[in-house]
Structure 1
Amino acid sequence: MKRDSRLSSVLHALLHMESHGKPMTSEDLATCMSTNPVVVRRTMAGLRESGFVRSDRGPNGGWSIACDFDRVTLRDINAALGEPALFAVGNRHENPACLVEQAVNAALDDAFDAAEALLLERFATVTLAALAADFRRRFARHKSENGTKAHA
């Protein structure tokens, strides 16, 4: 099963936008994220509806940050994405009347629910500002060792 990487992609885009300091086009963001501008526009539209980004038309237009990085958490962004499934592991449902399957599913459901609650709790403690600060530290270290590019 393919993993859903939208949260990671959105966070990647937001950090590029914040470090860029001025609006970025969908094409610019697509280049940073190694994806298609259509995917960027679709994803950013959802974030715009949640108030995290805005878009401006015209020669100096593009996508820009519309939120306070100190107040927005990974959980907030995950919610804006529609709270995609956090785990690729799931239960089997081939024979719902089977008592063994019921017992296994009950145990797995309890574990999945506890793990998801813990992960969402952790997401609520990580702000976009903390991610941006970590990026700036890594970039400064990388720049001193290798030059100015943020991507390998």
Structure 2
Amino acid sequence: MSANSRLTVAAHALTWIGLYQRRGHEVATSEQIATSVNTNPVVIRRLLAELRKAGLADSRRGAGAGWTLSRELSAITLLDVYEAVESGPIFALHRSTPDAQCVVGHGIGPAMTAVYDGIEATLRKELAGTTLEDVLQDVLRAA
């Protein structure tokens, strides 16, 4: 099973747009962002469309078309980005109901749900405590 990179790519795109705007540019194209991410511009456009629906990015059409941030990097948390691009819980229970007559089959759902709820709460707290400004500052320090 491979790990999901949607949060990382979305944070990359928004952080890139924020830095690009700070450097005096009005809008960023999906082609420019895709070059940084090393992916197809269509992937970026689809992801940015989700971010636009969540109020994190805006798009312009026509002459001067491209993408901008809807708010400052310091006002966008990784939790905002996560909620925009990820649907559902991190972990799921069985696709089919386990045997309720089996002691493990009967109790596995509640046992795992308690663990998963704790993980989800911890993840949300960590993501809420990190802004894209924090990410950009870490990126610039590493460069």
Decide: shared fold, TM above 0.5. Answer: yes
Residue 43 of structure 2 is matched in structure 1 by: 39
Paired residues, what number?
137
- Seen in structure 2, the aligned counterparts of structure 1 residues 27 and 84 have a Cα distance that, compared at 3 Å, is farther
**Which residue of structure 2 lines up, in the alignment, with residue 146 of structure 1?**
none
> Match for 1:9: what amino acid?
V
Two-structure CA RMSD over aligned residues (Å)? 1.9
| 1:21-68 Cα distance to aligned partner (Å, 9 max, x none) | 222211111121121111111111111122211111244321111212
1:16 is displaced (CA, Å) by 1.2
Quote how far apart the aligned CAs of 1:84 are.
4.6
Do residues 95 (structure 1) and 98 (structure 2) align? Answer: yes
Structure 1: gaps spanning 5 or more residues: 140-152
Letter matched to residue 107 of structure 1? A
Identity across the alignment (%): 34
**In the alignment, is residue 112 of structure 1 matched against residue 116 of structure 2?**
yes
**1:31 to 1:84, Cα distance in 2 relative to 1, 3 A:** farther
Q: Secondary structure at the match of 1:55?
A: strand
* Unaligned segments of structure 2, at least 5 residues: none
> Distance between the aligned counterparts of 2:6 and 2:88, measured in 1?
9
Q: Aligned partners of 1:80, 1:96: CA distance in 2, in Å? A: 36
Matched residue, 1:26: 30
Other-structure match for 2:7: 7
Moved >4 Å (runs of 4+): none
In structure 1, distance between residues paired with 2:64 and 2:93: 50
Aligned to 2:71: 67
Question: TM-score normalised to the size of structure 1?
Answer: 0.79
